[in-house]
């Protein structure tokens, strides 16, 4: 076991003490630990590499994903980490979210990028505010990475929050071109971070969103010179009634898919399902910072949103390949199988990844693969 694996295992084992220490201290300690751990985590490459069995892979947009799951955006903000997850056997990798200008992210109570865990609810919250080094620096890093077969390299991008819309979109498109030049295999457009201004939360067909999508479609999608899928990441909180119209808007503009979704800010609804031992922490964090909730509290809602989305895709029957990617509370193999039953072939995880990492270290995708059945033996419901 490596030192980083040991730290993850130990932190996971002692995490329940959060229920017995003051929430303000927990946020301080957990955030400091996480800020120190993640950069190291991205850089230490496992000595052994794992190749999942061929039959577990998925082909989408002509890209081969060795497994139907990979990290969600925000884990590797600076772009480091591809070699590490590729050796673990991940189905893909995504860096970012990056923006056109470097961002410091949120600070409150002298805590940089406040975040916490809800251990008894297998969930977490963060109020980071998209800190990142900017498209130029992240693209330069990705351009140097050697691609591994079956592990597509993605980048999550966002328009610069707080900037005039036209300038923000033109800088966004310039950034997307840069990532195209850097050789990424797919792009996620993050439209759903609850911790910055200008991103849609439960808004559905927000006019500003549609204007941005139009501009990206005209300035980038129609001008692509190679196969470079662009998917849009929306909030898990998107109202179900809005999802068919959003799918339609994306298909119509030539986008290649959607991710459902990002973290949730439906605090009242979530609170009823938060484990009682996590409630004090939950109340403190939402009041003090707000932030987005992730992890098992989202499992049911991401499945339901994706069910509505895949239904809409079936009804629309797009003339180009369009995929729904599930993200939000994907914690176990069973979640991946449930995704498949509703027609979702691709999944991402953040909280679930780290829970598996705490248990199995870099062997997590091997463990998952050994228990996974090929999609051909699962029936769609
Ligand atoms: C600490 C943290 C940082 C995140 N940063 C980003 C980000 O930069 N961009 C993004 O699209 N999503 C970001 N997310 C959201 C995740 O990508 C994911 O959508 C969310 O956590 C739900 O997935 P999960 O339930 O598997 O954790 C972040 C989540 C966490 C916990």
**Per-residue pLDDT tens over the stretch 232-254:** 999 999 999 999 999 999 999 99
What is the pTM for the complete model shown?
A: 0.95
Q: What's the confidence (pLDDT) of residue 373? A: 76
- Distance from residue 290's CA to the centre of ligand 1 (Å): 15
Q: What's the confidence (pLDDT) of residue 375? A: 63
Q: What's the confidence (pLDDT) of residue 203? A: 60
Backbone dihedral region for residue 253 (phi beyond 0: left; psi -120 to 50: alpha; all else: beta): alpha
Are residues 134 and 97 in contact, defined by beta-carbon separation less than 8 angstroms? no
Are residues 169 and 212 in contact, defined by beta-carbon separation less than 8 angstroms? yes
- Distance from residue 377's CA to the centre of ligand 1 (Å): 31
- Distance from residue 357's CA to the centre of ligand 1 (Å): 16
Ligand 1 atom closest to residue 125's alpha carbon, by position in its atom list: 31
Specify the number of domains making up the chain.
1
pLDDT digit string, tens, across residues 101-158:
999 999 999 999 999 999 999 999 999 989 999 999 999 999 999 999 999 999 999 9
Q: What's the confidence (pLDDT) of residue 380? A: 41
Ligand 1 atom closest to residue 113's alpha carbon, by position in its atom list: 1
The token duo for 207 is 């006019």
What does the alpha-carbon distance between residue 202 and residue 261 come to, in Å, rounded to a whole number? 11
Cα torsion 86, 88, 93, 97: sign: negative
Q: Take atom 3 of ligand 1 and give the residue whose Cα is closest.
A: 74
| CATH code: domain of residue 224 | 3.20.20.70
Q: What's the confidence (pLDDT) of residue 381? A: 38
What does the alpha-carbon distance between residue 1 and residue 20 come to, in Å, rounded to a whole number? 29
What does the alpha-carbon distance between residue 289 and residue 125 come to, in Å, rounded to a whole number? 10
- Distance from residue 225's CA to the centre of ligand 1 (Å): 30
What domain range is 280 assigned to?
3-377
The pick from 262, 297, 339, 353 for probing ligand 1's pocket by mutation, whose C-beta has the most ligand atoms within 8 angstroms, reads: 262
Q: What's the confidence (pLDDT) of residue 200? A: 61
Helix 351-360 vs helix 364-371: angle between axes, to the nearest 10 degrees? 100
Pocket of ligand 1 (CB under 6 A): 72-74, 77, 97, 115, 124, 126, 128, 130, 156, 190, 193, 233, 262-263, 294-295, 298, 327-330, 349-352
Ligand 1 atom closest to residue 352's alpha carbon, by position in its atom list: 26
The three-point CA angle 183-326-41 to 5° equals: 60
Give pLDDT tens digits along the chain (381 positions): 899 999 999 999 999 998 899 999 999 999 999 999 998 999 989 989 999 999 999 999 999 999 999 999 999 999 999 999 999 999 999 999 999 999 999 999 999 999 999 999 999 999 998 999 999 999 999 999 999 999 999 999 999 998 888 999 999 999 999 999 999 999 999 998 777 776 665 566 788 889 899 999 999 999 999 999 999 999 999 999 999 999 999 999 999 999 999 999 999 999 999 999 999 999 999 999 999 999 999 999 999 999 999 999 999 999 999 999 999 999 999 999 999 999 999 999 999 999 999 999 999 999 999 988 776 444 443
Q: What's the confidence (pLDDT) of residue 18? A: 87
Question: Do you find a cis peptide bond into 261, omega within 30 degrees of 0?
Answer: yes
Ligand 1 atom closest to residue 77's alpha carbon, by position in its atom list: 8
Q: What's the confidence (pLDDT) of residue 192? A: 82
The token duo for 73 is 């955006």
Helix 333-341 vs helix 299-316: angle between axes, to the nearest 10 degrees? 30
């Amino acid at each position: 076991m490596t030192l980083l694996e040991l730290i993850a295992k130990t932190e996971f084992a002692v995490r329940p003490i959060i229920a017995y220490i003051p929430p303000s201290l927990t946020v301080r300690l957990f955030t400091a630990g996480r800020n120190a751990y993640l950069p190291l985590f991205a850089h230490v490459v496992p000595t052994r590499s794992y190749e999942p069995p061929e039959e577990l892979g998925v082909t989408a947009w002509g890209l081969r994903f060795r497994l139907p799951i990979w990290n969600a955006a925000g884990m590797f903000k600076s772009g480091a980490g591809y070699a590490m997850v590729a050796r673990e056997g991940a189905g893909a990798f995504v860096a970012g979210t990056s923006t056109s200008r470097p961002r410091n992210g949120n600070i409150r109570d002298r805590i940089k990028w406040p975040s916490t865990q809800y251990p008894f609810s297998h969930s977490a919250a963060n109020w980071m505010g998209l800190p990142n080094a900017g498209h130029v620096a992240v693209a330069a890093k990705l351009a140097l990475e050697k691609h591994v077969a079956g592990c597509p390299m993605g980048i999550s991008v966002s328009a610069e929050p707080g900037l005039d819309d036209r300038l923000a979109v033109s800088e966004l498109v310039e950034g997307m071109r840069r990532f195209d030049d850097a050789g990424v295999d797919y792009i996620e457009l993050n439209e759903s971070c609850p911790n910055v201004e200008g991103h849609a939360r439960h808004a559905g067909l927000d006019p500003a969103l549609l204007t941005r999508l139009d501009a990206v479609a005209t300035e980038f999608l129609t001008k692509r010179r190679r196969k470079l899928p662009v998917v849009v990441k929306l909030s898990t909180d998107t109202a179900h009634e809005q999802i068919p119209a959003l799918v339609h808007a994306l298909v119509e503009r030539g986008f290649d898919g959607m991710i459902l979704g990002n973290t949730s800010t439906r605090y009242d609804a979530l609170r009823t399902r938060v484990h009682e031992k996590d409630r004090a922490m939950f109340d403190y964090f939402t009041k003090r910072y707000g932030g987005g909730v992730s992890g098992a509290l989202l499992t049911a809602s991401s499945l339901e949103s994706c069910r509505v989305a895949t239904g809409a895709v079936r009804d629309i029957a797009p003339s180009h390949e369009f995929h729904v990617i599930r993200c939000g509370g994907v914690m176990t193999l069973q979640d991946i199988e449930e995704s498949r039953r509703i027609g979702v072939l691709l999944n991402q995880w953040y909280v679930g990844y780290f829970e598996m990492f705490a248990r199995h270290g870099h062997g997590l995708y091997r463990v998952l693969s050994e228990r996974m059945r090929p999609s051909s033996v699962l029936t769609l419901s």
